[in-house]
C-alpha cells in the first residue's frame, strides 16, 4: 500500500502512530524542519507535521476499534510481546507491534498495535484494558474467563496465582506462603466454629449486611476466598409464589447444599399446586434441582404450614435467646468465674451457674488449684455445675461432645466425631430434640452419619396417611416440568 493512501484510510490518533504505520509498511522515516520524508523502493514522499495532524482522529470509529481489539485479543500473547520471532508471527496475521522506547520519558516501554486488515491502530494499554474487561487473559489462545468463576492456578507476572472476572474487570489473587484464617471477613468476625469448618475445606455461609455469603479456603492460593453466585448459586427462598411464601433456607440448609447434601421433604408451591420434594444443587452448583416430587392437596399443605409455624416461631425465639446469650458472653463470664474462685465467693459462683455459665471439669480443677481451693471445695464447685468428678467413658465423652456440637451447629466437629468411628444412636437424636436442637440440624447430623431418610422433616404429619390419587404419577410429571422451568434461573 502507498503511504499517501494509508494517510487517508487508516484510523490513528497522532503523528507518532502514523509514523508507526509508515514503518510497518516498510518506509524509512526522516524528520527535518517540520516535515517528514518517507522513502521506500525508490519512492520518496514528503508530509508536513500539520498535514498529518489534520488527518489524526478524522476517521474516529470506536466500534471498529473494539472489533479490532476483539480480533487481536484472540491472538495476542502478552508474555511474548517482546519476542521478535513472535512479532513476526503476528505480522502474518496483519498485526504490527510498534514498540516505543522510554515513551513520554518513562522508563517503562509502551507499544502501538496496528491492525492492517481493519486499518486501525491504538495503544497497547487500551488493548489490555479492553481484554481484561472482556475476561481475555491474552495468552495467545484467546482464553476467556467465565464471569465470577475462579481460574486454574497459573503464573502471573512471575508468581503463582489465579484470576477471576468481575464487573470491573479481572481481579488477581496471588498464592500466599502460608494459610492464615482471618479473624474478620468484610467486617464480620469469624467464630471458632466457622474457622474450623474453613480449615476442614467446607464451604461456610456467613451473614454480612443481612445477606449470606459463602467462604472457602482455596488450597492452591492458601487463602480464604469469597465464592461468587456464579460458582455456587444458593437462593434464600425456594418455591415462592403469590400464594405461598416458599421455603426459606437457614444457614444450616445453605451449609448442607453447598457441601453436596440434599434437603429432603420440603414443602414448595408452583402455579399447578403444592408439592413436597427434595432440593439439591446441580453438579456444577450453579442451580437447584427439585427431585422426588410428590403432589399434595391444598388442605394437606395448610396442615403442614400450620404444623411448621410454631416451630418457626420457636426457632426465632431461640435466635433471640442466642443473641442474648452472646450479649451475656460479652461480660466475660470466664473472668468473673476466675475472680469469684479467687475470692472464694461461692454465692457469685452459684449466680454464674444460674445465668448459664458452665465451665468444664478440667477448667474448674485448674482454677481451683491456681486459687488454693482444697479438694472438698473443688468437688463442691464441680457438683454445683453438674460435672461428674469421675472420668467419663469414651462413648459418653463423644456423645457429650456430639450433643454440644449439634447445639452450636458445629458441623466440622460433628464430621470429626463421625470420622473417629462414633455410631449415632436414636438416644443421641432424642437428647438433641429434648435440648432444643433444630430440625434442620438434626437432618444434617443424620446425613453426616449416613442415616438419611430416617426422620421426616415436616413435623409429625404422615403423608402416607392420605390416600394417593390414582393419577399421582401423571400429576407429578407436569409439576416436575413446571418446577424445572420455575427454578431454572435460580
Helix (H) or strand (E) holding 43: strand 43-48
Helix (H) or strand (E) holding 139: none
Residue 489 has a pLDDT of 33
Q: Is the pLDDT of residue 357 over 90?
A: no
Tell whether 461 is covered by a domain. no
How many domains is the chain partitioned into structurally?
A: 6
Residue 53 has a pLDDT of 93
Beta bridge partners of 124: none
Q: Looking at the structure, do residues 21 and 53 belong to the same domain, yes or no?
A: yes
Tell whether 277 is covered by a domain. yes
CA distance readout (Å), 329 to 289, 338, 377 = 41, 15, 26
Q: Looking at the structure, do residues 274 and 340 belong to the same domain, yes or no?
A: no
Q: Higher confidence at residue 220 or residue 352?
A: 220
Can you read off the three cell numbers belonging to residue 217? 479456603
Q: Looking at the structure, do residues 413 and 357 belong to the same domain, yes or no?
A: no
Within 8 A by CB and 6+ apart from 14, the residues are 53, 56
Once rounded to an integer, what is the mean pLDDT over residues 297-303?
85
Q: Is the pLDDT of residue 45 over 80?
A: yes
Residue 119 has a pLDDT of 95
Residue span of the structural domain in which 436 resides: 394-448
Q: Are strands 110-115 and 120-123 parallel, antiparallel or unpaired?
A: antiparallel
Residue 18 has a pLDDT of 94
Q: Looking at the structure, do residues 320 and 336 belong to the same domain, yes or no?
A: no
Q: Looking at the structure, do residues 306 and 410 belong to the same domain, yes or no?
A: no
Q: b/e per residue, 367-391, with b = 16+ CB within 10 A?
A: bbeeeebeeeebeebbeebebeeee
Once rounded to an integer, what is the mean pLDDT over residues 54-69?
91
Give the number of other CB atoms < 10 A from CB of residue 461.
15
Query: Which is nearest to 10 in space by CA: 122, 119, 123?
Result: 119
Q: Looking at the structure, do residues 245 and 128 belong to the same domain, yes or no?
A: no
Tell whether 458 is covered by a domain. no
Tell whether 301 is covered by a domain. yes
Helix (H) or strand (E) holding 341: helix 333-342
Residue 324 has a pLDDT of 53
Contact 267, 459 (CB under 8 A): no
Residue 355 has a pLDDT of 74
Tell whether 308 is covered by a domain. yes
Q: Looking at the structure, do residues 95 and 128 belong to the same domain, yes or no?
A: yes
Q: Looking at the structure, do residues 37 and 101 belong to the same domain, yes or no?
A: yes
Q: Looking at the structure, do residues 420 and 438 belong to the same domain, yes or no?
A: yes
How far apart are alpha carbons 195 and 256 in whole angstroms? 17
Tell whether 100 is covered by a domain. yes
Contact 39, 97 (CB under 8 A): no
Average of per-residue pLDDT values in the chain: 79
Can you read off the three cell numbers belonging to residue 464? 402416607
Q: Is the pLDDT of residue 32 over 80?
A: yes
Q: Looking at the structure, do residues 120 and 10 belong to the same domain, yes or no?
A: yes
Q: Looking at the structure, do residues 252 and 297 belong to the same domain, yes or no?
A: yes
Once rounded to an integer, what is the mean pLDDT over residues 14-37?
92
CB hemisphere CA count around 305 (13 angstroms)? 17
Q: Is the pLDDT of residue 149 over 80?
A: yes
∠ CA 466-461-483, nearest 5°, is 75
Helix (H) or strand (E) holding 150: none
Tell whether 110 is covered by a domain. yes
3-state secondary structure of 270: strand
How far apart are alpha carbons 363 and 355 in whole angstroms? 18
Looking at the chain, the whole-number percentage of residues with pLDDT higher than 90 is: 21
Tell whether 219 is covered by a domain. yes
Q: Looking at the structure, do residues 357 and 442 belong to the same domain, yes or no?
A: no
Q: Is the pLDDT of residue 461 over 70?
A: no
Please tell me which of 290-304, 384-398, 467-481 the model is most confident about, judged by mean pLDDT: 290-304
Amino acid at each position: 500500500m502507498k503511504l499517501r493512501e494509508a494517510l487517508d484510510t487508516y484510523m490513528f490518533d497522532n503523528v507518532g502512530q502514523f509514523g508507526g504505520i509508515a514503518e510497518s509498511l516498510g518506509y524509512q522515516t526522516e524528520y527535518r524542519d517540520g516535515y517528514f520524508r518517507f522513502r521506500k523502493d525508490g519512492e520518496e514522499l514528503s508530509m508536513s507535521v500539520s498535514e498529518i495532524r489534520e488527518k489524526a482522529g478524522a476517521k474516529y470509529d470506536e466500534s471498529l476499534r473494539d472489533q479490532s481489539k476483539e480480533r487481536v485479543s484472540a491472538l495476542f500473547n502478552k508474555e511474548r510481546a517482546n519476542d521478535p520471532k513472535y512479532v513476526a508471527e503476528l505480522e502474518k496475521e496483519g498485526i504490527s507491534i510498534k514498540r516505543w522506547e522510554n515513551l513520554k520519558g518513562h522508563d517503562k516501554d509502551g507499544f502501538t498495535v496496528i491492525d492492517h486488515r481493519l486499518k486501525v491502530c491504538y495503544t497497547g494499554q487500551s488493548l489490555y484494558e479492553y481484554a481484561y474487561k472482556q475476561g481475555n487473559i491474552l495468552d495467545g489462545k484467546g482464553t476467556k474467563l467465565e464471569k465470577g468463576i475462579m481460574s486454574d492456578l497459573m503464573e502471573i507476572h512471575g508468581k503463582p496465582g489465579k484470576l477471576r472476572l468481575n464487573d470491573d474487570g479481572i481481579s488477581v489473587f496471588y498464592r500466599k506462603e502460608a494459610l492464615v484464617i482471618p479473624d474478620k471477613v468484610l467486617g464480620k468476625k469469624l467464630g471458632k466454629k466457622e474457622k474450623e469448618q474453613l480449615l476442614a475445606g467446607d464451604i461456610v455461609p456467613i451473614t454480612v449486611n443481612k445477606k449470606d455469603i459463602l467462604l472457602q479456603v482455596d488450597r492452591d492460593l492458601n487463602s480464604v476466598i469469597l465464592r461468587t453466585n456464579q460458582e455456587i448459586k444458593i437462593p434464600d427462598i425456594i418455591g415462592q409464589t403469590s400464594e405461598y411464601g416458599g421455603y426459606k433456607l437457614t444457614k444450616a440448609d445453605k451449609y448442607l447444599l453447598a457441601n453436596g447434601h440434599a434437603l429432603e421433604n420440603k414443602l414448595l408451591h408452583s402455579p399447578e399446586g403444592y408439592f413436597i420434594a427434595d432440593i439439591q444443587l446441580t453438579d456444577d452448583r450453579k442451580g437447584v434441582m427439585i427431585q422426588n416430587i410428590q403432589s399434595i392437596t391444598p388442605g394437606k399443605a395448610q396442615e403442614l404450614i400450620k404444623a411448621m409455624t410454631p416451630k418457626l416461631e420457636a426457632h426465632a425465639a431461640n435466635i433471640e435467646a442466642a443473641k442474648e446469650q452472646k450479649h451475656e458472653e460479652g461480660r466475660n463470664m470466664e473472668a468473673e468465674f476466675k475472680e469469684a474462685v479467687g475470692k472464694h465467693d461461692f454465692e457469685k459462683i452459684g449466680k454464674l451457674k444460674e445465668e448459664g455459665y458452665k465451665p468444664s471439669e478440667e477448667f474448674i480443677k485448674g482454677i481451683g488449684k491456681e486459687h488454693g481451693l482444697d479438694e472438698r471445695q473443688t468437688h463442691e464447685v464441680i457438683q454445683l455445675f453438674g460435672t461428674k468428678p469421675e472420668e467419663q467413658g469414651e462413648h459418653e465423652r463423644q456423645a457429650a461432645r456430639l450433643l454440644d456440637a449439634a447445639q452450636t451447629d458445629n458441623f466440622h466437629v460433628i464430621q470429626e466425631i463421625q470420622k473417629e468411628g462414633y455410631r449415632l444412636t436414636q438416644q443421641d437424636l432424642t437428647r438433641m430434640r429434648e435440648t432444643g436442637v433444630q430440625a434442620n440440624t438434626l437432618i444434617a447430623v443424620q446425613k453426616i452419619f449416613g442415616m438419611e431418610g430416617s426422620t421426616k422433616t415436616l413435623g409429625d404429619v404422615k403423608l402416607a396417611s392420605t390416600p394417593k390419587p390414582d393419577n399421582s404419577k401423571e400429576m407429578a410429571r407436569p409439576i416436575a416440568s413446571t418446577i424445572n422451568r420455575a427454578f431454572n434461573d435460580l
